[in-house]
Structure 1
Amino acid sequence: MDILSSVVWIKSGAAKATPIKFAPDEEELNSLIAKNGIQDDDEDDDKSKDGDMDVEKQDDKIDQDDDDDNILIPGVGPIAMHASNTDDPLLEIKDDGEDSDAEDFYIRSDDNLIVAAHIEDDTSSLEVYVYNDKEGYLYVHHDILMLHMPLCLTWLDYDVKNTNPVNYVAVGSMEGVIELFDVDLVDQMEPIYTFGKKSRKKKTKSSKKSSKKSGEGHDAAVLDLSWNKLVRQILASSSADATVALWDLSQMKMALHLNKIHEKQIQSICWHPTEPQNLLSGSADQTVCLVDCRDANNKNNQHRWTFDSDIERVAWNTFDSNQFLASTENGYVYAMDIRQTTIPVFSLAAHSGAVTGLCLSSTVPGFLMTSSFDETVKIWDVENGSVTFIAERQFPTGRINTCLANPDFPFTFAIGGQSKGLQIWDCTENSNGDYSSLCTIRNSFFFSLLVRSRFGSRAKFEMVEVSSAETEATEPKVSSFPTTTPNVTSAVLKAQRKKLSKKNK
């Protein structure tokens, strides 16, 4: 198993120019050791003795090396050997390779960070990438080991104890907990805070079998997270236990538990862009619900739309706050007006598999990208409710789990799936040698011309003239609600459970 389950972009300028390297003091180190268990005293004594012997051997080796600083080469004479190039008075360029490492550690003001949730066999981690759109470089800056399997991510810059914006990422896990990490902190050993308490087993008198007693938060996997940018201390989480939790970051505790809005697991949530009390949720019960969180469990404050397949993703149209998009497990995408209940603005047969990525641009009107378990990504023009298919590309990721647009460059996307690691794609640029290993795109030049020609004037970047024959686009299949029978589990979660069950066998 080698999966990228989720990615999140961090806008340029949000990260510290020089990240902080975590160095625990003695008290913190003892606390971390206590959490992970203490070694036997006899074993420690043996290691100490071995360490003393190693130090003595190393000292002897250093003494011997000091005697051999000047090496005699026949026909040449003695040659002085220096431990570092900086110690050699005859060397004008004193480069030990450290300058390049220091430059890579430094975060420039026009760099974006990408945090990717990586699951590989029994190991889980957060990989923090540095990406620069102008210069085209991409590399792993540092990573964070995870104790729990990460399923979803969201970025936030709120900390009640800090008046300045921070650079945090919240991680929802398979175990039902939410962990908060400081992206600017390198070599951290644990989250700065953990939300939710794992359920514990309790024996009942009537039966010897164990039953679960819920703690604060979720009793099952956390499937999605959404930070409220208008009420910045509120973080929402949805779970496979069919509930939504609202967390108050100013008090670091759960503020509200919504358990009456869906009957099955809630796979996607999204706050309204202008009305901070309204939360949109999509569930495996084939419904999307818009709820007023001021009185969320009141049925009168819930508005519901019913489809005939599991909802994979939901997203708001920032150019029309009365409209949202929903994608389904059987490959459809719907645009709905919240003032209506049954008739979609448009319905689109987008993919042959579950649509796990739904990126409706917040800066380019009508620009929509979808990604799917059918291993493809597609570009659509949905301006003014009319749908035009632009083009599609296949990536070497296998099934695509996640796709997200760069907040600073709307045509650049981060894509993650079941293999091949993180993929970065600027759909307005030709693929080059630097990215040949990241993204295999056939006819990329033709594709970039299509995107530039279609959306260039809306994005206000420099136009590239192309002939009308090159920009012809085919109309996609647009239909009413589909009639296929859906499955009732999340596509991503189902795939992960299948691999885990095989491993346990």
Structure 2
Amino acid sequence: MIAAVSWVPKGASKAVPDEAQLPPKEEIEKMIKSGALEEESENGHSEEEDEDTDIEDVEHTNEVTQALVVADALGKTSKSKNSGTKLDDIAEGLKELDMDNYDDEDEEVELFSKGLGDLYYPSNQMDPYLKDKDDVDSEDLEDMVINANDSVIVCACNEDDVSHLEVYVFEESNDGDTNLYVHHHIIIPAFPLCMAWLDCPLKGGEKGNFMAVGSMDPSIEIWDLDVIEEVQPCLILGGINEEKNMKRKKNKKGKKSSTEYKEGSHTDSVLGLAWNKEFRNILASASADKTVKIWDVVEGKCSFTLGHHTDKVQAVAWNHYAPQVLLSGSFDRSVFMKDARISTHSGFKWSVAADVESLAWDPHTEHSFVVSLEDGTVKGFDIRTAKSDQASESQPCFTLHAHDKAVCSISYNPLVTNLLATGSIDKMVKLWDLSNNQPSCVGSRNPKAGGIFSVSFSEDSPFLLAIGGSKGNLEVWDTSSVAEVSKRFGKYSKPNKADI
């Protein structure tokens, strides 16, 4: 399934991504000395330890596996006191094989007579088995290049219990043909639930190309999209404190103990993320632990925690014109707005009739936002009608009965005024004209993607809509092909490729 989709702005990706480097030698040695490898080599854990927390076991297994692979690549051997560990057995086996002298052969022994197999070809072009190899390598290199005109789409996926980010390239030719293919993928340790692209320069320079991922774990992982075959995120915000929990397990073996989290961390799944484009080091997160957190990704720590909801917080969004204003929606059937410019005010709150699934600010005005609900409706609000008290009962500008089931995702078109897309688990994607707060449906489609979990309009191509759902297939819909969309919004033509 595809839980979330996100566009990467054109030109933000490196033309040719870097290849991942092995972790520093010191980090590997630290992992080995920590005793993680010794624990992995034991026969098992007590039932009490197994029941303690599934999240700890998954993270621990991933860490050990990575350590084993990297240690083997560097020729390291375990310093375990237990001479009977698996690592010792592997080391002894390699010693017996004498791999260092594997290529040394007895020149006097000739098993087979001379024949065509001994022919020497002066060049690869003359060798029938190698003559096309250079062409294949050239094609592979060409496929790895991301051109400035290419669109990049990232999908948060889960398939056969493997969670990963798939980085797609969407090519558009001058004659109208398109090509969509997977450029590379990144394995992640936990089931992904949400994403947010950010260009905060975490590795120096003026900008970057990073994807923040929220998952079933309480941590937020930030991955560098310009690095392929990466095995570790470049930054982790919050999460379980592995060192403290490992010590607690060793000291209280057989006894259940509460989970230790890093300072400022969420304590449950991360359900929503929003990057602040104006204050580029700021990331907001919504969690099942009922809180909203504001993170400084440069400092790698939580700056503020907001606890104004009484149930799981599903979505967060920064205002496009007033970057100090944050909106959040919750399963407590409310939408909350916090304006950091008014430090003395506790915030504004709107009540809705069902659990909040998604919300979004109108990118063409600072006063309006829409929220989608579990009952299939979409409501629009104008913050100028909000009352001064926190428990505002302001009526919505409109209520739209959009779908038969939960509306999991909504997306304003950032380039076309009043065009909104909605996606639902009823398997339908619909397009709406919100002009004059009188919504009308201008297009609908069943993209054969299963239940729709995520829809997202491109910020570079006016009518391209990315769609992800339960069947795990990424769909890109050119909504300008819909007659009514073309009729009403035709003035927002596609940009001339020569101008890009």
TM-score by length of 2: 0.77
- What's the CA shift string for 1:230-286, capped at 9, x where partnerless? 111111111001101111122111111112x11111111000111111100111111
Deviation (angstroms), 1:212:
4.8
Q: Which segment drifts farther, 80-89 or 168-177?
A: 80-89
Deviation (angstroms), 1:131:
1.2
- In structure 2, list runs of 5 or more residues that go unmatched: 33-62, 69-85, 387-393
1:386 corresponds to 2:420: no
1:337 corresponds to 2:389: no
Structure-2 residue corresponding to 1:452: 486
Which one of the candidate residues 153, 157, 163 is aligned to 1:114? 153
Structure 2 CA distance for partners of 1:309 and 1:53, relative to 1, 3 Å: same
CA RMSD of superposed structures (Å): 3.1
1:255 corresponds to 2:303: yes
Which one of the candidate residues 158, 164, 179 is aligned to 1:125? 164
The 5 A counterparts of 1:25-44 are 27=25, 30-31=28-29, 34=32, 35-36=63-64, 38=68, 39-44=86-91
Q: Which letter maps to 2:239? A: K
Structure-2 residue corresponding to 1:238: 286
Which one of the candidate residues 216, 219, 222 is aligned to 1:177? 219
Q: Which segment drifts farther, 279-288 or 391-400?
A: 391-400
Q: Which letter maps to 1:275? A: A
1:421 corresponds to 2:468: no
- What's the CA shift string for 1:190-238, capped at 9, x where partnerless? 01111003278789x9xx8644555421010000110101111111111
Structure-1 residue corresponding to 2:8: 10
- What's the CA shift string for 1:375-407, capped at 9, x where partnerless? 000111112222221121112221111111111
Q: Which segment drifts farther, 179-188 or 419-428?
A: 419-428
How far apart, CA to CA, are the structure 2 residues paired with 1:379 and 1:311? 20
Deviation (angstroms), 1:82:
4.4
Alpha carbons 1:238, 1:266 under 8 Å: kept: yes
TM-score by length of 1: 0.77
Alpha carbons 1:396, 1:420 under 8 Å: kept: no
1:324 corresponds to 2:369: yes
Structure-1 residue corresponding to 2:267: 219
Structure-2 residue corresponding to 1:351: 403
Structure 2 CA distance for partners of 1:186 and 1:69, relative to 1, 3 Å: farther
Percent sequence identity is: 35
Structure 2 CA distance for partners of 1:306 and 1:457, relative to 1, 3 Å: same
Structure-2 residue corresponding to 1:159: 201
Alpha carbons 1:84, 1:96 under 8 Å: kept: no
Alpha carbons 1:236, 1:245 under 8 Å: kept: yes
Deviation (angstroms), 1:170:
0.6
What SS is found at the alignment partner of 1:318? coil
Alpha carbons 1:319, 1:362 under 8 Å: kept: yes
Q: Which segment drifts farther, 190-199 or 240-249?
A: 190-199
Alpha carbons 2:462, 2:494 under 8 Å: kept: no
How far apart, CA to CA, are the structure 1 residues paired with 2:104 and 2:172? 50
Structure-1 residue corresponding to 2:358: 313
Q: Which letter maps to 2:441? A: F
Deviation (angstroms), 1:10:
0.3
Which one of the candidate residues 341, 357, 361 is aligned to 2:413? 361
- What's the CA shift string for 1:482-503, capped at 9, x where partnerless? xxxxxxxxxxxxxxxxxxxxxx
Alpha carbons 1:154, 1:170 under 8 Å: kept: yes
Structure 2 CA distance for partners of 1:69 and 1:295, relative to 1, 3 Å: farther
What SS is found at the alignment partner of 2:410? strand
Structure-2 residue corresponding to 1:433: none
Alpha carbons 2:20, 2:228 under 8 Å: kept: yes
Q: Which segment drifts farther, 194-203 or 314-323?
A: 194-203
The 5 A counterparts of 1:46-195 are 46-50=93-97, 52=99, 55-56=102-103, 67-69=114-116, 82=121, 85-86=124-125, 95-134=134-173, 135-159=177-201, 161-195=203-237
Deviation (angstroms), 1:26:
6.7
Alpha carbons 1:69, 1:81 under 8 Å: kept: no
What SS is found at the alignment partner of 2:187? strand
- What's the CA shift string for 1:84-106, capped at 9, x where partnerless? 744569x9988531111110011
How far apart, CA to CA, are the structure 2 residues paired with 1:65 and 1:248? 68
- In structure 1, list runs of 5 or more residues that go unmatched: 72-79, 430-447, 463-505
1:286 corresponds to 2:333: yes
